[in-house]
Amino acid sequence: MKARLKIAYILPSLEVGGSEKQVVEMATRLDRNRFEAQLVCLRAGSPEWERAIANRVRLKVFAFKDSFRSLPANLPQLYKLAQYLEGEKPHLVHTFFYWPAIFGVLAARVAGTPAIISSRRNISYFETYRPYRQWLQNVANLFTDTVLANSQAVKQDVLRRERINPAKLKVIYNGCDWERFENPKADRALTRRELGIRGNEVLVGIVASLHPNKGQEVLLQAMPHILPHFPAVKLLLVGRDREYRATLESLASSLKIQDKVIFTGEREDIPELLKAMDVGTLCSLYSEGFSNAVLEMMAAGLPVVATDVGGNREAIVDGETGLLVPPGDSSKLAEAILRLLRDRELASRMGAAAHERVRKLFSMERMIEETEQLYVELLRAKSPTAARYVR
């Protein structure tokens, strides 16, 4: 069998999140005639998902602690990670999230890994961190060959906040498996019945973890502006509770709209839920690098109203494939939603254009192809030995 390039993806853990799913998609979709991928987690995550992933791609889990105060306790794990990489001899290590960008990069360099890539996927990466974390990142950047951003907005944020050679920065947009969202397993009517939506009701939805940054409070506050014009509107909030649901339920009650709000919790049938909606929203206040949720809504053919933060402007063409509104402004959010509810022809046209934009520019195939090309180009430059495999 022809020798393949060995790629090790290092991430904190396997939790069911947007970025984690993107890493798994890359690891499992790389051309297996050219690449051999494995996942390396710094600590244990979801046992069920770990078992499922281990059936598709090699998986190694360590026992790091996610705290700088535990750095002395993590030194043995760092040594074990470096030993593991030295034994596995990957041609390239690709890290995701903060601590892998520190521990993973240092371990890979100690192990003599030829090429190292570190991903950035959020805006305002260090705003809630203490200064030492940015200092550590700047040190790790010295040992990183490429820093990969998932939007131009993230790239510019890295240039503002980190000490890094601009030549090291590359951009590859997230990819979406658009066919999965175009053709869900259950039809719209069945899903709406399951949610308790009557035929004349209009469903506005958001798919995001229940967290202050995601702006669900602003969406709830927009409802009193919408309901006088469309009394049959209901809100669908889909996502894992990050200790925030009680706050949102209390707000809905104080606004007297509790009977208009449906909390589903975390769900796996996102394509079906999106097809049940009439308008999709993302109300993040900050820190959206390049939203997978927005891509999925667009892939489902939904007209999307999103806040103009981070890379949302790079995904959505305002006025053509969706509408952008200022973050934190419930009245502007309500106006945009009302515009789509009042003009169903416009909403349909935007949804169709959004679907086509994802299909052409943000497909999973495009992301994988560009990532493979980056790996090959970097290894050609960094490793004469690896270059033999990629002629």
In the chain, where the domains are located: 5-175+364-390, 178-361
Q: How far apart are CA 103 and CA 353, in angstroms?
A: 42
Residue 305 pLDDT more than 90? yes
pLDDT of res. 68 = 58
pLDDT of res. 125 = 56
Mapped to the 3 state alphabet, what secondary structure does the chain carry?
CCCCEEEEEEECCCCCCHHHHHHHHHHHHCCCCCEEEEEEECCCCCHHHHHHHHCCCEEEECCCCCCHHHHHHHHHHHHHHHHHHHHHCCCEEEECCHHHHHHHHHHHHHCCCCEEEEEECCCCCCCCCCHHHHHHHHHHHCCCCEEEECCHHHHHHHHHHCCCCHHHEEECCCCECHHHHHCCCCCHHHHHHHHCCCCCCEEEEEECCECHHHCHHHHHHHHHHHCCCCCCEEEEEECCECCCHHHHHHHHHHCCCHHHEEEEECCCCHHHHHHHCCEEEECCCCCCCCCHHHHHHHHCCCCEEEECCCCHHHHCCECCCEEEECCCCHHHHHHHHHHHHHCHHHHHHHHHHHHHHHHHHCEHHHHHHHHHHHHHHHHHHHCHHHHHHHC
The lowest-confidence range among 88-92, 173-177, 305-309, 381-385 is 381-385
pLDDT of res. 3 = 83
Residue 336 CA, distance from chain mean position: 24
pLDDT of res. 69 = 63
pLDDT class of 53 with cuts at 50, 70, 90: confident
Place of tokens 């690449």: 35
Q: How far apart are CA 306 and CA 65, in angstroms?
A: 35
Do residues 149 and 169 lie in contact, with contact meaning Cβ atoms separated by under 8 Å?
A: yes
Q: What is the homologous superfamily of the domain 5-175+364-390 according to CATH?
A: Glycogen Phosphorylase B; (3.40.50.2000)
Taking only the tens place, the pLDDT of each residue in 172-216 is: 999 999 999 998 888 899 999 999 999 899 999 999 999 999 999
Residue 129 pLDDT more than 70? no
Residue 127 pLDDT more than 60? no
Write the class of the CATH domain 178-361: alpha beta
DSSP structural state of residue 102: I
Do residues 336 and 350 lie in contact, with contact meaning Cβ atoms separated by under 8 Å?
A: no
185 or 367, which is more confident = 367
Taking only the tens place, the pLDDT of each residue in 217-268 is: 999 999 999 999 999 999 999 999 989 999 999 999 999 999 999 999 999 8
pLDDT of res. 73 = 83
Q: Which residues contact 140 (CB under 8 A, 6 or more apart)?
A: 101, 102, 105, 106, 118
Residue 77 pLDDT more than 90? yes
Residue 126 pLDDT more than 60? no
Q: What is the token pair recorded at 250? A: 């209390």
Its pTM stands at: 0.92
Taking only the tens place, the pLDDT of each residue in 344-355 is: 999 999 999 999
> Is it true that 5-175+364-390 and 178-361 share their CATH fold?
yes
Taking only the tens place, the pLDDT of each residue in 11-44 is: 999 886 778 888 999 999 999 999 999 999 999 9
